[in-house]
């Protein structure tokens, strides 16, 4: 089958650059960045960003739509770990002079009964936008009230973010245009309102 360069170019222009990604950050006494201090934790995050890329999401669509988001944070901590880690996720929506950046925060903490660190999963950040960029901004330790940092082995935190469009307004517009054209040329018997009726085209109001 011959290569359709026009289709390939159109696909690159219309679709996203990166639907999602993940970063894996490790720190602790046996890791390359030393102990469990806040400075070493940030160094580990910077190293991970340097190896895997800072942006977990870099998405673009032709027109504004609604994005479904998924944040997954998976801890793998040492057995003697009792401290908590706050993960800051930075979101940038829009472009040019219509661009805005905001942050959401997620706390990774042991269950008060079992002491187990459970995965953090969030799907509650809706995004109405054309352009979306996401990256891990920072990690913060939370200690006190009997919570200490591990001194035994390495702690690892995996952070993943994914997005996908849940609306595509122009799909409906193109379908209506196609049905209207078929009505006019007689390739379809009757429209949704019967022969002779042609609804006004739907357009964005700018």
Q: Quick one: pLDDT at residue 10?
A: 45
Q: Quick one: pLDDT at residue 94?
A: 86
C-alpha 104/C-alpha 71 separation (Å) is: 11
Q: Quick one: pLDDT at residue 1?
A: 42
Q: Quick one: pLDDT at residue 3?
A: 45
Q: Quick one: pLDDT at residue 69?
A: 94
Q: Quick one: pLDDT at residue 161?
A: 95
Tell me the residue ranges of DSSP E strands in the chain.
20-27, 55-76, 84-93, 100-108, 120-122, 127-142, 155-165
Q: Quick one: pLDDT at residue 185?
A: 67
The parts of the chain modelled with pLDDT lower than 50 are: 1-13, 190, 206
C-alpha 133/C-alpha 168 separation (Å) is: 19
Question: 58 near 116, Cβ under 8 Å?
Answer: no
Q: Quick one: pLDDT at residue 72?
A: 97
CA 192 to chain centre: 39
Whole-prediction pTM value? Answer: 0.71
Question: 100 near 135, Cβ under 8 Å?
Answer: no
Q: Quick one: pLDDT at residue 144?
A: 53
Label residue 94 exposed, middle or buried (CB < 10 Å: 0-12, 13-18, 19+): middle
Q: Quick one: pLDDT at residue 4?
A: 47
Query: Which pair of structure tokens corresponds to residue 143?
Result: 């200690």
Q: Quick one: pLDDT at residue 92?
A: 93
Query: Which pair of structure tokens corresponds to residue 63?
Result: 């027109």
Q: Quick one: pLDDT at residue 81?
A: 80
Q: Quick one: pLDDT at residue 181?
A: 72
């Amino acid at each position: 089958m011959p290569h359709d360069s026009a289709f390939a170019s159109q696909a690159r222009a219309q679709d996203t650059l990166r639907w999602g990604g993940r970063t894996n950050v490790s720190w602790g006494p046996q890791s390359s960045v030393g102990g469990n201090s806040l400075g070493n934790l940030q160094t580990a995050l910077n190293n991970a960003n340097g190896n895997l890329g800072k942006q977990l999401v870099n998405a673009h669509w032709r027109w504004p739509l609604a994005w479904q988001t998924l944040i997954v944070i998976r801890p793998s901590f040492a057995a003697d770990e009792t401290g908590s880690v706050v993960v800051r996720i930075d979101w940038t929506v829009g472009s040019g002079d219509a661009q805005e950046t905001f942050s959401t925060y997620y706390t990774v903490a042991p269950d008060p009964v079992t002491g187990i660190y459970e995965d953090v999963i969030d799907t509650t950040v809706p995004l109405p936008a054309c352009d979306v960029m996401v990256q891990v901004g920072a990690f913060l330790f939370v200690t006190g009230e009997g919570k200490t940092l591990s001194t035994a082995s390495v702690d690892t935190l995996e952070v993943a973010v994914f997005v996908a469009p849940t609306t595509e307004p122009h799909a409906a517009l193109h379908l209506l245009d196609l049905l209207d054209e078929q009505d006019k040329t007689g390739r379809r018997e009757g429209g949704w309102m019967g022969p002779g009726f042609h609804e006004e085209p739907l357009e964005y109001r700018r």
